[in-house]
């Protein structure tokens, strides 16, 4: 079904908060029972990992972490619409998408521990290193898509970012670049209502983020970001549009960040708990999708509990593997600056090696 917002832009939704579904749209998707369950498995895995990583940060086992609970439907649904050959440019809050696209949990933990090797994705995983600079990955994704177009490849690039990034110059530069060159790229904005402590209504005057695409003559889609099937359908439409030469798309997935911006943040300082409770009670993505699967006869409490136990064991095993790995020496960081290091860089590396040996 489509719900019209205040500016009459279509807001796409398939599963209601009650778990009831638009049967026509569900039939049009033509998804197997196995695929529907697989989506839930990835959503649950992402949630359990998020909860585990938050505890690990509080225990001092990893560094600062950006929780993503509440945004699983946006991340999992969109990643399912990609091919493994497509390129992904994540921000620091997109672990769910990275997992689906092939990033091992072990690798993600190494990154959060601050290990140099944590920033290098496996060779066969087309996920670029996590971008910390707000919006910095948007023009980079446009550049990657341009390379694919020049090479006449069929790859599509997706860039993930939050609502706060749409106030950055990189957002506008990236969209303009992609529109002018008609690049095969999808700009996926997870509008989680808060750019750190700044609410959406204080950050922009526009009624929606999706409408920003109009200025660039770009296709736009606004979707219920807590409805994994609606997100999958919207992203698949955008990806096929790009792969077939139609150019870029801006997707606004309306969702909510349940936890803090990062583990260095206290959301109680700037938002009311009643707001969080309302989003969780009425729109929480895992609860909604679980109700849907139960209504379809695909999931029971028993099978869900068995799945939860399996995933918790998998997560524990991967974390244990990561924590046994020894960090590379600090001096090896200089090896990742240039392909052929210049004299000054080598001099700095030698100095670091000397100080490390001296215990300084």
Helix pair angle (72-80, 228-243), 10° resolution: 40
Distance from C-alpha of 123 to C-alpha of 197, rounded to nearest angstrom: 37
**257 tagged catalytic:** yes
Distance from C-alpha of 8 to C-alpha of 294, rounded to nearest angstrom: 33
**12 tagged catalytic:** no
Q: Name the one residue in this structure whose structure tokens are 């092939």.
A: 102
Contact present, 29 and 232 (Cβ < 8 Å): yes
Question: Which H or E run includes 105?
Answer: helix 105-112
- Choosing from 47, 101, 261, 288, the catalytic residue is 261
Question: Which H or E run includes 327?
Answer: none
DSSP conformational letter for 130: P
Task: Report the chain's C-alpha Rg in angstroms.
Answer: 21
Phi, psi angles (nearest 5°) of residue 335: -75, -15
Distance from C-alpha of 111 to C-alpha of 114, rounded to nearest angstrom: 5
- Choosing from 58, 270, 336, 355, the catalytic residue is 270
- Choosing from 222, 241, 257, 288, the catalytic residue is 257
Which residues are annotated as catalytic? 257, 261, 270
């Amino acid at each position: 079904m489509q719900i019209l917002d205040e500016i009459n832009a279509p807001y796409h939704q398939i599963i209601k908060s009650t778990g009831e579904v638009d049967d026509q749209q569900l039939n049009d998707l033509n998804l197997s029972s196995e695929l529907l369950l697989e989506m839930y498995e990835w959503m649950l895995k992402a949630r359990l990992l998020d909860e585990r990583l938050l505890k690990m940060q509080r225990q001092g086992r990893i560094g600062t972490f950006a929780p993503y609970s509440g945004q699983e439907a946006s991340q999992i649904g969109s990643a399912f619409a990609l091919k493994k050959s497509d390129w992904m440019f994540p921000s620091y809050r997109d672990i769910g998408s990275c997992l689906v696209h092939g990033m091992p949990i072990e690798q993600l933990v190494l990154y959060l521990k601050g290990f140099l090797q944590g920033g290098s994705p496996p060779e066969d995983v087309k996920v670029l290193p996590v971008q910390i600079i707000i919006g910095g990955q948007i023009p980079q994704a446009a550049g990657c898509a341009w390379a694919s177009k020049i090479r006449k490849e069929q790859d599509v690039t997706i860039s993930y970012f939050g609502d706060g990034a749409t106030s950055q110059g990189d957002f506008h530069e990236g969209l303009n670049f992609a529109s002018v060159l008609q690049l095969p790229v999808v700009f996926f904005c997870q509008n989680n209502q808060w750019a750190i402590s700044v609410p959406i209504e204080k950050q922009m005057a526009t009624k929606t983020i999706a409408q920003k695409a109009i200025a660039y003559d770009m296709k736009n889609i606004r979707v219920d970001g807590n409805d994994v099937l609606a997100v999958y359908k919207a992203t698949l439409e955008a990806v096929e549009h790009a792969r077939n030469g139609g150019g870029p798309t801006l997707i606004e997935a309306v969702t909510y960040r349940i936890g803090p911006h990062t583990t260095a943040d206290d959301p109680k300082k700037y938002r009311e708990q009643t707001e969080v409770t309302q989003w969780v009670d009425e729109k929480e993505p895992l609860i909604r999708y679980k109700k849907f699967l139960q209504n379809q006869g695909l999931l029971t409490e028993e099978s869900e509990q068995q799945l939860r136990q399996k995933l918790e064991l998998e997560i524990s095993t991967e974390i244990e593997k990561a924590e046994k790995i020894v960090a590379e020496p600090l001096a090896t960081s200089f090896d990742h600056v240039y392909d052929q290091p210049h004299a000054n860089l080598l001099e700095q590396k030698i100095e670091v090696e000397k100080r490390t040996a001296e215990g300084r």
